[in-house]
């Protein structure tokens, strides 16, 4: 059911990370096409230069590495000054680390969290004082259905999305009184560049897992993928809604998988509830 719109189609101003490819590029272009203004960011300015050529003064392109907190703060403040306000902060930059739990090094895991968790936090922390001062805004974060379910071989990537979910849920409660909204976008499998070499990092492999990983990648190859361009209307519905959801799936396959995962967890907790309850003890 479509939510009642608030300020729909009224030239919103977006700040988007990871605008060079995947959902970031799709959503950046869609917002510009409908007449909104966008501060589009990417690690390499050349990768988003075409936006300036097409959309002129409606777009501000900025070089941004979200792992550099000082650069993040400068970019957010520059965008706010340039456009006079920021209505939507869309944290989209991220990548996946491919490797079993045993294979990935501490450095690989640390770098993954720097981009997928600490990067979005840096953007949020830079934006919040500005959003409070202007009287509101909407923080939107690209998570994944893997923020609720887990796949092997990309377990560390899944863990960043579980952290991402917790941070945004806590944030939503903390900033509600300031008129700031929070939404977590949870896409399923889509035909984006997320599986490209630019969006993946591979941990050195161990021979013992080779057959398992081959089977895993074969199963991924058979997975039905959605059309990323079909997501734009859903994004507009969310950012234009007076009362946007805290969480929303993108795609038709997520809900059944999440429902199954939570049903299994509940069944296990209930099966072991007598032991769990006994562990409470009798301390008053």
DSSP string, 1-42: -PPPBSSTTS--EEEESSTTSHHHHHHHHHHHHTT-EEEEEE
Is residue 143 among the annotated active site residues?
Answer: yes
Candidates 95, 161, 181, 190; catalytic one:
161
Maximum pairwise Cα distance, the chain:
70
- Tell me if 42 sits within 8 A of 25, measured CB to CB: no
d(CA 198, CA 95): 8
- 3-state SS class at 134: helix
In the residue annotation, 156 being an active-site residue is answered as: no
Active-site choice (12, 157, 159, 181): 157
Q: Please report, for residues 15, 232, 260, 268, the alpha-carbon distance to residue 24 in angstroms, rounded to integers and kept in the order given.
A: 11, 11, 30, 38
What phi and psi, each to the nearest 5 degrees, are found at residue 214?
A: -60, -45
The residue from 96, 143, 144, 159 that is catalytic is 143
157 assigned to active site: yes
Active site residues: 143, 157, 161
């Amino acid at each position: 059911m479509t939510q009642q719109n608030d300020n729909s189609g009224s030239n919103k101003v977006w700040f988007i990370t990871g605008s060079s490819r995947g959902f970031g590029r799709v959503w950046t272009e869609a917002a510009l096409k409908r007449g909104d203004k966008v501060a589009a960011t990417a690690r390499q300015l050349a990768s988003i230069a075409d936006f300036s050529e097409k959309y002129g003064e409606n777009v501000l392109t900025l070089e941004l590495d979200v792992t550099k907190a000082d650069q993040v703060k400068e970019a957010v403040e520059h965008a706010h000054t340039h456009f006079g306000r920021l209505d939507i902060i869309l944290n989209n930059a991220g990548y996946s680390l491919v490797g079993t739990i045993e294979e990935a090094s501490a450095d690989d895991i640390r770098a993954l969290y720097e981009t997928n968790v600490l990067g979005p936090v840096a953007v949020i922390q830079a934006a919040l004082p500005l959003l409070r001062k202007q009287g509101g805004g909407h923080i939107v974060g690209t998570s994944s259905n893997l923020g609720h379910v887990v796949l092997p071989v990309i377990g560390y990537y899944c863990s960043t999305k579980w952290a991402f979910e917790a941070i945004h849920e806590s944030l939503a409660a903390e900033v509600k009184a300031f008129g700031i909204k929070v939404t977590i976008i949870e896409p399923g499998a889509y035909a984006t560049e997320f599986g490209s070499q630019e969006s993946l990092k591979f941990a050195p492999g161990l021979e013992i897992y080779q057959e398992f990983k081959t089977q895993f990648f074969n199963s991924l190859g058979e997975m039905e993928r959605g059309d990323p361009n079909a997501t734009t209307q859903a994004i507009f519905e969310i950012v234009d809604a007076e009362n946007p959801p805290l969480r929303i799936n993108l795609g038709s396959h997520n809900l059944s998988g999440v429902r199954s995962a939570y049903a299994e967890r509940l069944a296990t907790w209930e099966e072991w509830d007598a032991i769990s309850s006994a562990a409470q003890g009798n301390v008053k």
